[in-house]
Structure 1
Amino acid sequence: MKKQLLAIALVAMMGLTACGESESSKKEKSDKKEAETTTVAETTEEKTTETEEETTTEASSEEETTTSAAAPEYDEFKLVDGLGDKYVDFDNRAFAYDGKVYKLGEATLQDLIDGGIPFDKNDLNNIDNNVNSNYETSTYTVQINDYTSLQFQFINATDEGKKEKECPVSYVRWATIYTPHADYSESINNETIANLNDCAKHVGFSFPLTLKKDELLEKAPDGAEADDYGNVEYKIKSERYLGTSGYRFTFDTDSDQMRYVSITWMP
């Protein structure tokens, strides 16, 4: 009888031990799972925070790049030594190229060539052609850059024939394809400003290449003849020939900025 009771007691104790171990194992597994879940959540939060920081940094960098890419501006106008400060000066009709001043009626085609003005090679084939008395040459063109150019003519105001290279300048014309405009794209306006700045490093007059119409009329109000198409002229009669010579400015009718200017000379 005692043996039976002892056996029953042992069986009961083993059952309790097994049950305790099972519940303990479940608790340990649950705790481990919670710990793993917490670790994953913390890692995810860290990655999310890092991603947000990286995104913020990238956005800040883009903003800084956008801010630093400022639109170009016109360079300050610098008057070349030897050019007068009068915008219209009939006694000193002149222009400059690479810092050297050339006066209409005096400087010859050969002088301009020697001064380094880059004429078209095809035009230079004509420099030894004969020019009859009281005649002008055909037009010589100089491309400054993509948007700007110069044109020249030369006159034989003597009583005998001369070679083209011996004739003085009677006509100079500067032109730009574009001026900045509100309706143009930003890229075209930026390129226009860049081309005008580049041209101003080579070509000079007594006035800036970015001259506005009201600036001209303020500086040279006397004798101005203006029309509705953006043209303003200053002319005097020739003492030798029929006709007039002088200055002709053409301004963009929307921006009022100069697009063309021509200066002519006759004795």
Structure 2
Amino acid sequence: MIVNTLSLTGQVALVTGAGHGIGRASALALAEAGALVVASDVDFARATETEQLIKDAGYEGVAATADVTDEKAMIAVVDDVVRKFGRLDVVHANAGVLMAGTALTQTLDEWDKTFTVNVRGTFLTVRAVLPQMIKQKSGAIVITASVSGLIGEPDLVAYNTSKGALVNLTRQLAVEYAEHGIRVNGVCPGWIETGFNDPVLGHLDTAELDQLVDRQVPLGRQGTAEDIAPAVVFLASDGARYITGQLLPIDGGLTSM
């Protein structure tokens, strides 16, 4: 049955940036699909909240903490997962930051932090998990890119450029590690109502935001983290067993305008 290909029963999943927003929603969805989920976040209190939400829903989850920009910390988290659970099947590399700015107003510190978290952090997450997945000869990696990595947008020079890097990192990893049975895909969220876009949209009142959404999003609303999570589950599952190197826009039609 088709539905069985979406099951992750018996698998172990690691989610970074799992303390809120898309990361939390995907951690819950992966657990609901049957995976034991390790919810990792730089803020351990938030990671613990996600763990409790997973357990309250009747599923298996544990909290972990690591700074994705710290190579030793990411290796330690992965080693701990493998030591405790014996395997690592799914990774959602989700941690990221957004800071508004143009080529003239973005500070170098903001530029560097954006690339350190979004690009270096994703790279180090993937590099930490690859040895185990190669050993298993299987694995699914889902990277949170963005529609911002597919198009140009005002006032987002560092963020858009960093997400563009993740778009091509997804393709590069997919090509390089397919021979080991590892699939690498990305989700490209549009405007998601989690507070993450507040540096760009936060100055708008409700009426102004509604007007902007009506003009630019064909479905007429911002998305939610729960709109993204099912796609993460799908790309991690056997339902996507012949899909790798792909970037899936989840944006209410924004990039079709």
TM-score range, shorter chain: under 0.3
Choose between structure 1 and 2: higher strand proportion: 1
Q: Which has the higher contact order (CA 8 A, sep 6+)?
A: 2
